[in-house]
Structure 1
Amino acid sequence: MKTANQEQRFDQLVGLIYESVQHPGQLAPLMESICDEIGAVAGHYLHMDMSTREVFSSVISNPIFNAADVEYRTYYNSVDERLQWVAAGAVGEWRADYERFDESFVRRSEIYNDFLFKHGARHMVLGRVGGEGLDNEVLSFLRPVGAGHYDADDLQLLERITGHMIRSSVLRRRLRALESQQQADQALLKYFPYGTVWVDAACRVASFNNVAADMLAGADGICVKAQRLRLADPGADAMLVAAVSQATGAEGRRGQWFAARRERGGQPLVVSVIPAQPDRQAGFADDSGPLALVILQDMGRQQLPRSAILRKMFGLTPAEARLAEALLDNDTIESYAQKADVSRNTVRTHMASLFSKTGTRRQAELLRILMMAEPPIRI
């Protein structure tokens, strides 16, 4: 029968599990608390690709093992036979090493003899607490040399918190995806071929990119007065105020676009106002309230060819830019290779470079970024 104190400690563990979703720094105290309950000397969290053994992030609960963590991430994860065994198990299944690896295996194992024993560790229990495809989160808990292996009573606590660990992993994965998309969008806006200005509900300017800076410096139909974005055309200025109000309103936030006359004549500015939520880590105050993104399209500017824009924005080579254009035109790798008279391996190499330079990992993400970079349509 569980005591009130045991239940209180369990509730504290559950609280730490969910705190670690938004605050990864809580993973270490969470694992340390679990270690106290199951008699482990350290806990180790790994977010990694089980196929390539690439480690995306790693947290160790006990600072004594910081050097071991570095060694594991840089080499020993590549020779750790236990990872394949853990990957074969279901998410949420805890596996104690003695159940699979006997003393004969341990005596000839590099991971035990050259790594674990050197750092004073012996028995472990490991489990996948989350993952999608080859992207996995693994937790392991180490016991020192001389300590016994984990038994059913030791694993009972891990089994109780497993559901919470799985849910927290799902939330963490969703948060990583949102943060990755947000960072990509922020980077893309910085290099947009047209002006972007963040404003608050009162049209006060929070930030703008280099193209917008050039437009504001030219003061031809648009400027900043008393920290507020203003249009010289009175009718367009009133539409800007109304559009920003709609985009930052408490209910039914909507975007719209309109044209604004230039003071010196020529083609107008096309102004688009959309509701948006910027990355607070990019320099926006947490208390700034809802913001709107104002996109300024100068119809008088000569538009660069699509390939030139892609090369300039992402640092692509001519061959990579040609592949990017082909993907935007709905070409497959096979059809592009045939049209360009190159091997599919060459195309895959260029594709890998596109992923790297655009900060994406999947073709759907890549296409979304490339489509956002296309030059605006003339009207």
Structure 2
Amino acid sequence: MTLVQKREAQFLDALYLGVRDRAGFDASLELLGNLFDVATAVLLDFDAARPEVSAQASVGLFTGEVLDRYQRDFATLDPAPRAFMAVPAGTAMPTYRLLREETRKPGVFFNEFFRPLGLEECLGGTLASTKGGFAMVGLQRPQDRKAFDDDDIARLEALMPHLTRALQLRRGFLELEGAAGAMSEISNRLAAGVVALNEYGRSLFVNAAARRMASAADGLSIGRGGRLFAANRAANNRLAELENDVRAGGAGGVARAPRAAGKPSYGIMVAPFFLDDGVDGSRSRPRGVMFIIHDPLLKAQSDAQTIGALFCLPKGAAQLVAAIAANEELQAYADRTGISMNTVRYHLKTAYSRTGVRRQSDLVRLVTTALRDLTDHRDIGA
């Protein structure tokens, strides 16, 4: 294997390893630049409709403040992206061939941005092109490096399929990472505890509420592998039984996990969920197991503003409902706020009318259930 072949192999290894990591992706681009004896390289997405340029990876001069200035002030003036957009995907070309007139009579971009950086030419390649947008790789040579030639073009074109595939994989990974992050944030807001296991029984996710319940050590725990356990042996056996039922294709069921000191038990639903999108109909869909944990003692903070907005209550009625939802007696509320019991009864009657209930206990149940579902539970008990 020649030195060039070794360097190409190092680049390809770094490129595919960098799919999951921006720093690794940038490092692979640096190796690509070394292959062509340039220090500056960039991988760009270009949206002609806006127009807008975003860098997927960059090294050398096209980083930091320079990259910010390019995207902010000069991307729309750069003639190269639009010119490369017309070039078939998989084709590489130096700008002195692609932009002959611009090379002969440099415009604002070359005179005010590109050449003041000490750069003379770009060897670019179109990686993928769709309606209104495309991706390209650009290798920028300094003035003391000889012009890009046919050998450089052929070498870059041989590597471009790998760049295209790696970019596709990176985009897919970023989409999955974004979706997973969003689902994690959503799940962590819930009042219910959530523990999810994959088809092999390994932990996929434990939300904030489940971790909080486990840390209370009053009936539930979460093992080092992220599995849910009940302190009560019978309850733990029931959880294992329901998990096995799900893995065998069943629907799961509900278990109770007793707590100490006579506290009401945790309620736990064990149910299946699918780990793919069901597109491949040639095989059975892998099933994970989720545990949804209900803590009957968990109460959301009573918030008059939220209550008023939810049930269209005037300020006085909303404040009263918030107080009784927090277990304050009517007389105590009247004394604390300095209003008469007649006014308290008027606010209570308004709340009954707006919510459609007739009893104070039903009103409290209605409001606390709504608050429990809508409250952000990430920081409760932290």
Smaller-chain TM-score range?
0.5 to 0.7
Distance 2:114 2:46 in 1: 20
Distance 2:93 2:255 in 1: 64
Conservation of the 8 A alpha-carbon contact between 1:205 and 1:229: no
| 1:257 to partner: Cα distance | 3.2
1:356 paired residue number: none
| 1:172 to partner: Cα distance | 1.6
1:215–1:156 distance in 2 versus 1, CA, 3 Å: closer
1:25–1:259 distance in 2 versus 1, CA, 3 Å: same
| 1:253 to partner: Cα distance | 9.0
Distance 2:192 2:133 in 1: 36
Distance 1:82 1:167 in 2: 23
Using the size of structure 2 for normalisation, the TM-score is 0.59
* Deviation sequence 1:200-234 (CA, Å, 0-9, x none): 99999984424874798696xx5449998555886
* Deviation sequence 1:114-144 (CA, Å, 0-9, x none): 1001101111122232466656442101112
Conservation of the 8 A alpha-carbon contact between 2:256 and 2:265: no
Conservation of the 8 A alpha-carbon contact between 2:124 and 2:136: yes
| RMSD, matched Cα | 4.7
Distance 1:43 1:84 in 2: 18
Q: Which residue of 84, 87, 90 maps to 1:89?
A: 87
2:164 paired residue number: 166
Conservation of the 8 A alpha-carbon contact between 1:203 and 1:244: no
Q: Does 1:256 align with 2:255?
A: no
1:19–1:146 distance in 2 versus 1, CA, 3 Å: same
Distance 2:233 2:44 in 1: 58
Equivalent position amino acid for 2:70 in 1: Y
1:113 paired residue number: 111
2:240 paired residue number: 241
Equivalent position amino acid for 2:60 in 1: N
Higher Cα Rg: structure 1 or 2?
Answer: 2
Q: Does 1:13 align with 2:11?
A: yes
SS in structure 2 of the partner of residue 75 of structure 1: helix
Q: Does 1:183 align with 2:173?
A: no
Q: Which residue of 15, 22, 25 maps to 2:23?
A: 25
SS in structure 1 of the partner of residue 17 of structure 2: helix
SS in structure 2 of the partner of residue 166 of structure 1: helix
1:1-379 aligned within 5 A: 4-47=2-45, 49-62=47-60, 66-103=64-101, 107=105, 109-130=107-128, 136-145=134-143, 147-197=145-195, 207-210=206-209, 213=212, 223-224=220-221, 229-231=228-230, 236-244=235-243, 256-260=252-256, 269-274=267-272, 293-297=290-294
1:324 paired residue number: none
1:296–1:117 distance in 2 versus 1, CA, 3 Å: same
Distance 1:81 1:133 in 2: 18
SS in structure 2 of the partner of residue 91 of structure 1: coil
| 1:173 to partner: Cα distance | 2.1
SS in structure 1 of the partner of residue 137 of structure 2: strand
* Deviation sequence 1:319-371 (CA, Å, 0-9, x none): xxxxxxxxxxxxxxxxxxxxxxxxxxxxxxxxxxxxxxxxxxxxxxxxxxxxx
